[in-house]
C-alpha cells in the first residue's frame, strides 16, 4: 500500500490508519529521500521490501516505479478540500520547521510563501497525473479527503478488511477543526513482526521486478521545477 498524496494532505493520518489495519508502515525517511534525489531508484525500491505500507517523503515520488515493481499493490491519494487549503497548510508547516532541503528538492523552494502559483501547480498536476495513471485500472487507487469525511469505512472497503473499532486519527490536525470519527460518525471538535514485502492488505503481497526512469518524477513544471 503506497500513499501517493503530497505532504500536508493528511499523510500522517493515513499512516496511523494503515498501522491500525496491521501493516508495517514506513513514513518519512531522510535516507530514502536521498536515494530518490540521487536517482538510485533501484536501491530505494529494494529498501521497501521490509515494509507493507508507505506515506510521506519520498514515497509519493516513486509511485510509477513501485507499481511496476509490485504489481499487486494498491495506492491511496490523500488530498485537501481545495488547493488553497493545502498551500496554507504547507506555509504554516514551513513556518514551524524553517527551510528544509526536502521541500526545496520537491517544490523548488525552501520556503513556499512567495511562490503560491508554482506550488499549487505542482500539487494539482501531481494529483491529476496520479488519477490519470490509474484511470484504466479501477480498484487500484483510492482518493480520500479527511476534511470531507472519509474515514475507516472508506479505507476498510478499499482494503477488504473490517474497520478498526477506534477513534479515527487526525494527526497534525488543527484542533479547532479536528473531528474524531468512529465508524463514519462525527463528534464535536476535539483537542486526536510483519511480512517482508510491501503489501496491499495483510493477505496480498506484491511481487515482480522492474524499474523505470531514475530521478525526480515531478520535475515537469515549466520554469521553477521540482
Q: Could you please report the per-residue DSSP string of the chain?
A: -EE-PPTTSSHHHHHHHHHHTT--EE---HHHHHHHHTT-HHHHHHHGGG-SEE-STTGGGGHHHHHHHSTT--EEEE--SSHHHHHHHHHHHHHHH---HHHHHHHS-SS-TT-HHHHHHHHHHHHHHHHHHHTTSTTSEEEE-GGGT--HHHHHHHHTSPPPSSPPP-TT--TTT-EEEETTEEEEE------SS--SBTTB----------S-SSTTSSSS--
List C-alpha distances in Å: 171 to 20, 33, 126, 168, 202. Answer: 13, 22, 23, 10, 23
Q: Map grid coordinates 483510492 to a residue.
A: 142
Query: Residue 170: what pLDDT?
Result: 74
Cis peptide bond upstream of 139, omega within 30: no
- For the record, the C-alpha cell of 143 comes out as 482518493
Identify the CA nearest to 50 among candidates 13, 75, 25, 73. Answer: 25
Query: Residue 171: what pLDDT?
Result: 60
N-term to C-term CA, the chain:
25
Query: Residue 109: what pLDDT?
Result: 97
CATH number of 2-189: 3.40.50.300
Query: Residue 137: what pLDDT?
Result: 96
Q: Answer left, alpha or beta for residue 54, where phi above 0 means left and psi between -120 and 50 means alpha.
A: beta
pTM as predicted? 0.76
pLDDT in tens, the chain (226 residues): 999 999 999 999 999 999 999 999 999 999 999 999 999 999 999 999 999 999 999 999 999 999 999 999 999 999 999 999 999 999 999 999 999 999 999 999 999 999 999 999 999 999 999 999 999 999 999 999 999 999 999 999 999 999 999 999 976 554 433 333 332 322 222 333 333 344 443 333 333 332 233 333 333 222 222 2
Amino acid at each position: 500500500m503506497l500513499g501517493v498524496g503530497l505532504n500536508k494532505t493528511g499523510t500522517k493520518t493515513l499512516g496511523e490508519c494503515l498501522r491500525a489495519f496491521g501493516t508495517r508502515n514506513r513514513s518519512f525517511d531522510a535516507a530514502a529521500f536521498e536515494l530518490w534525489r540521487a536517482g538510485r531508484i533501484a536501491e530505494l525500491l529494494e529498501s521497501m521490501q521490509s515494509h507493507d505500507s508507505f506515506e510521506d517523503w519520498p514515497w509519493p515520488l516513486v509511485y510509477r516505479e513501485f507499481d511496476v515493481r509490485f504489481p499487486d499493490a494498491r495506492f491511496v491519494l490523500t488530498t485537501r478540500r481545495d488547493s488553497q487549503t493545502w498551500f496554507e497548510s504547507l506555509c504554516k508547516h514551513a513556518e514551524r520547521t524553517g527551510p528544509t532541503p526536502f521541500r526545496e528538492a520537491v517544490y523548488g523552494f525552501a520556503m513556499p510563501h512567495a511562490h503560491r502559483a508554482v506550488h499549487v501547480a505542482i500539487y494539482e498536476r501531481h494529483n491529476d497525473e496520479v488519477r490519470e495513471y490509474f484511470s484504466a485500472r479501477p480498484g487500484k487507487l483510492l482518493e480520500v479527503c479527511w476534511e470531507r469525511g472519509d474515514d475507516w469505512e472508506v479505507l476498510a472497503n478499499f482494503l477488504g478488511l473490517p474497520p478498526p473499532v477506534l477513534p479515527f486519527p487526525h494527526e497534525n490536525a488543527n484542533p479547532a477543526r479536528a473531528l474524531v470519527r468512529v465508524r463514519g460518525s462525527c463528534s464535536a471538535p476535539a483537542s486526536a513482526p510483519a511480512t517482508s514485502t510491501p503489501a496491499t492488505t495483510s493477505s496480498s503481497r506484491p511481487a515482480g521486478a522492474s524499474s523505470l526512469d531514475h530521478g525526480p518524477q515531478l520535475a515537469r513544471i515549466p520554469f521553477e521545477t521540482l
